[in-house]
Homo-oligomer: A and B are copies of this chain.
Amino acid sequence: MDLARSPLALPFPAIPPIDGVTLRIARARYKEWDRCDLTFAELAEGTSVAGVFTKNVCCSSEVELGREQIKGGSARALIVNAGNSNAFTGYRGREAVEQIMGQVADHLGCATNEVFVSSTGVIGVPLPKDKARAGVEAVLDAQPCGWEDATNTIGTTDTFAKGAHASAMIGDTRVEIAGIVKGSGMIAPDMATMLGYIFTDAAVSPAFLQECLSAANRQTFSCITVDSDTSTSDTVLAFATGKAGHAQLTSFDDPGADAFMAALHDVCRELAHLVVRDGEGAQKFIAVHVSGAVSDESARTIGLAIANSPLVKTAIAGGDANWGRVVMAVGKAGEPANRDTLSIGFGGHWAAREGQPVEGYDEAPVAAHLAGQEIDIAVDLGMGDGRASVWTCDLTHGYIDINADYRS
């Protein structure tokens, strides 16, 4: 199925090279397609690594191995296979991953657990070892490429390439952070996985890199939803080559650590938003801002209940300021809420305040807001200081087209 470019797509940004990172792509022909589908990022010696992974219990071998590997804290290579997720393939799938790790480690002269592997695509078919072996051989010899080519190569049914960039000053040293991502939850028929990769020339200890990535993840990748479904392979890895040459960051007490954290957070948020913008059938980008909850975590749970509600998402698709459905979604979240202190608004206009419809509520400006592509929903619980923002897209006929009307 040819998927039309998302109406919410953004152009690929200018991203500078990251010192210590070399990108290469090749054709492994995991599917019958005429495109590159194997990506190799070679990382300088001394690169720190951190990662966050899907909570899905039926995760892939890649995710199981990755969780173990990041404990070592050190990375020399990333391999991404597109077209086959290698999930639910038992020991045969695991052997294919271990073969790739060994092959790359031999080439680089590094430890196998410094080679990180991700796969994305069809579920239930073991990654073919022969295609993987030939593909890796080709990619090790390939010419270096740029960010956009690598991003297109990790994609499957993505309708546009998704990248982000930020920089930060650590003392007098400017460091760069580049990020690329593919996916939008579970994408098209038989296709799975959000995969995100962040590369920086900053010098960061593995433990602190993990602390920063986990913190950023909680407020970015963990605050987006397309359809509430959780892939078996979701992975975000961060690599810090240290080539910028400043003193290594090891905690928030170090000068420049806050600036680095802020820039990393920016990249993660931008990548997370781009995934939503490529959500299946998305016509509108929806930000849900929850305040007044009893805690930040409670606010996030309530925000996700709203963002996952098919009735809220279809109402927004229809341009309908249906705050009753938002009330319903708040109430079903299972978090502390009080109907009589609850306020709900759209695009800066309150529709209901403290448990009552607003007197003389003028729907015209709200309708104008909802006719646009960028939608804001505000919910104030009136109970405490907890707040969170989550992001999603609307639920449209396009989603049904992609997921029901056609089998890849």
Which A residues lie at the B interface, using CB under 8 A?
Answer: 55-59, 87-90, 122-125, 186, 189-190, 192, 227-232, 308-311, 314-315, 317-318, 320, 322-325, 327-337, 339-340, 342, 352, 355-357, 394-397, 399-400, 403-407
Contacts and interface: CB of A to CB of B under 8 A. Distances in A.
A295 B50 CA distance: 36
A355 B88 contact: yes
Contact of A395 (B124, B332, B400): B400
B189 A322 contact: yes
Nearest to A58: B331
B407 A314 contact: no
Given A189-B322, A190-B322, A314 B87 contact: no
B229 A309 contact: yes
How many copies of this chain does one complex carry?
2
A407 B57 CA distance: 40
Given A88-B355, A317-B404, A357-B124, A56 B328 contact: yes
A202 B28 CA distance: 71
Contacts of A317: 400, 404
Contacts of A311: 186, 227, 229, 403
B228 A308 contact: yes
Nearest to A325: B186
Contacts of A403: 310-311, 314-315, 318
Given A124-B357, A396-B400, A324 B88 contact: yes
Given A58-B339, A394-B404, A397-B397, 11 more contacts: A57-B334, A87-B324, A123-B324, A186-B325, A189-B315, A189-B320, A230-B331, A231-B328, A232-B327, A310-B403, A320-B407
Contacts of A339: 57-59, 88
Max chain B Cβ within 10 angstroms of own Cβ: one of A335, A396, A403: A403
Contacts of A327: 58, 87-88, 123-124, 232
B232 A331 contact: yes
Contacts of A399: 310, 314, 400
A123 to B, nearest CB: 3
